[in-house]
Homo-oligomer: A and B are copies of this chain.
């Protein structure tokens, strides 16, 4: 079985953490009954430096042709002043939009070995396992008009537009319910129907899909502001949270931070199944950013990116056993006390990015 992966390491620590994914891919190619063919491109500031765009047309075409894209991270102070439509994030947003990756899955998982490093009291996060299902190609991220105009009196007026249609809400709702069924079978839908018309439509459609198609999955509606609060107060009350693009951005960051495992969390962005082949476009990326401040120091934690590759195995390649193995290998190195700097406590000795990657491969060998 051969699979085409397109790697977009990006900026900052992106290339360093992607190297460790490549090492795992090489190990799998050598040791398992599978072949991953990897090609690599540029995205973000490094693409801008090379071709004046946040991603080239050629690399966009490769991303579209691949079975899955592995994305590192983009951005950094170096590109603070590039034109808006060429800023590093524009590459990421274009990939999401043009690949049709409407479903962003963000697990917030508290690794037992790290429960201590949460800001929250240990009992509140121990065993935490939330999945945020964020709509990723609609809402205020892409709605038009989106502009700054100068008015007659010299004032400027900025506009962003949040748009959602029935079908956009329906499909993300189904993703959330389908995933809930593989987990604790509870869905919480977060919006602001008390203030936003998109929230009114959101609540209405989620309610309809839930009662008509998933009558056996309990559904709860929660205002997004209250949801952010409840995540801090009692996070374990949640299983799957489904929400729009902007609320998902914020709620998933809060949820990620709660776990104490921020540098460890992966994400998957999935498209709709192709009408003919049934295959979904997909991109996998760590939740953390490009961390320009530590780039080049060898201290970046590759686990989030490796865990993102495990999500690729699970969601793009139906390699559930192998995905479980990678996740188990990660849990094992943590149990054994290996720590990159971001997850080390005072007094811990730390390992480098490559040492962490190598240790995970050693665990894979031993499994």
- Contact assessment for B165 and A198 in the assembled complex, using a CB-CB cutoff below 8 Å: no
- Contact assessment for A253 and B233 in the assembled complex, using a CB-CB cutoff below 8 Å: no
What B residues does A192 contact at CB under 8 A?
A: 246, 249
Residues of chain A in range 257-283 having any CB-CB distance to chain B below 8 Å: 257-258, 262
A148 CB to nearest chain B CB (Å): 5
What B residues does A196 contact at CB under 8 A?
A: 140, 146, 158, 160
A335 CB to nearest chain B CB (Å): 23
Against B, the Cβ 8 Å flags (1 = close, 0 = not) of A131-165 are: 00000000011010011100100011111111111
The yes or no answer to A66 lying at the interface (CB within 8 A) is no
Q: Which has the most chain B C-beta neighbours within 10 Å: A192, A195, A254? A: A195
What B residues does A141 contact at CB under 8 A?
A: 195
- Contact assessment for B143 and A155 in the assembled complex, using a CB-CB cutoff below 8 Å: no
- Contact assessment for A228 and B253 in the assembled complex, using a CB-CB cutoff below 8 Å: yes
Residue in B140, B161, B225 whose CB lies within 8 Å of A253? B225
Against B, the Cβ 8 Å flags (1 = close, 0 = not) of A225-252 are: 1101100111000000000001101100
The yes or no answer to A24 lying at the interface (CB within 8 A) is no
The yes or no answer to A201 lying at the interface (CB within 8 A) is yes
If the complex has contacts A119-B120, A232-B232, are A201 and B158 also in contact, measured as CB distance less than 8 A?
yes
Cα-based distance from A131 to B337 in the complex (angstroms): 39
Against B, the Cβ 8 Å flags (1 = close, 0 = not) of A155-197 are: 1111111111111000000000000000000000000101111
What B residues does A234 contact at CB under 8 A?
A: 119
What B residues does A151 contact at CB under 8 A?
A: 165
Q: Chain A interface residue count: which class?
A: 35 or more
A310 CB to nearest chain B CB (Å): 23
Cα-based distance from A131 to B16 in the complex (angstroms): 39
What B residues does A5 contact at CB under 8 A?
A: none
The yes or no answer to A105 lying at the interface (CB within 8 A) is no
The yes or no answer to A89 lying at the interface (CB within 8 A) is yes
Q: Which has the most chain B C-beta neighbours within 10 Å: A143, A155, A200, A228? A: A228
- Contact assessment for A84 and B200 in the assembled complex, using a CB-CB cutoff below 8 Å: yes
What B residues does A229 contact at CB under 8 A?
A: 253-254, 256-257, 262
- Contact assessment for A89 and B195 in the assembled complex, using a CB-CB cutoff below 8 Å: yes
The yes or no answer to A3 lying at the interface (CB within 8 A) is no
The yes or no answer to A121 lying at the interface (CB within 8 A) is yes
Residue in B159, B249, B262 whose CB lies within 8 Å of A143? B159
The yes or no answer to A124 lying at the interface (CB within 8 A) is yes
Residue in B146, B157, B161 whose CB lies within 8 Å of A165? B157
Q: Can you list 26 contacts pairing A with B, beta carbon distance less than 8 Å?
A: A87-B194, A119-B121, A119-B232, A120-B120, A140-B140, A140-B196, A141-B195, A147-B197, A148-B200, A151-B165, A157-B164, A158-B164, A158-B198, A159-B162, A159-B163, A159-B198, A162-B162, A192-B246, A192-B249, A225-B249, A225-B253, A228-B254, A229-B254, A233-B257, A246-B246, A250-B250
Q: Which 5 A-B pairs have the closest CB atoms?
A: A158-B201, A158-B198, A229-B257, A160-B162, A225-B253
Given A224-B250, A229-B257, 8 extra CB contacts under 8 A:
A119-B121, A119-B232, A120-B120, A156-B165, A158-B164, A160-B161, A161-B161, A228-B253
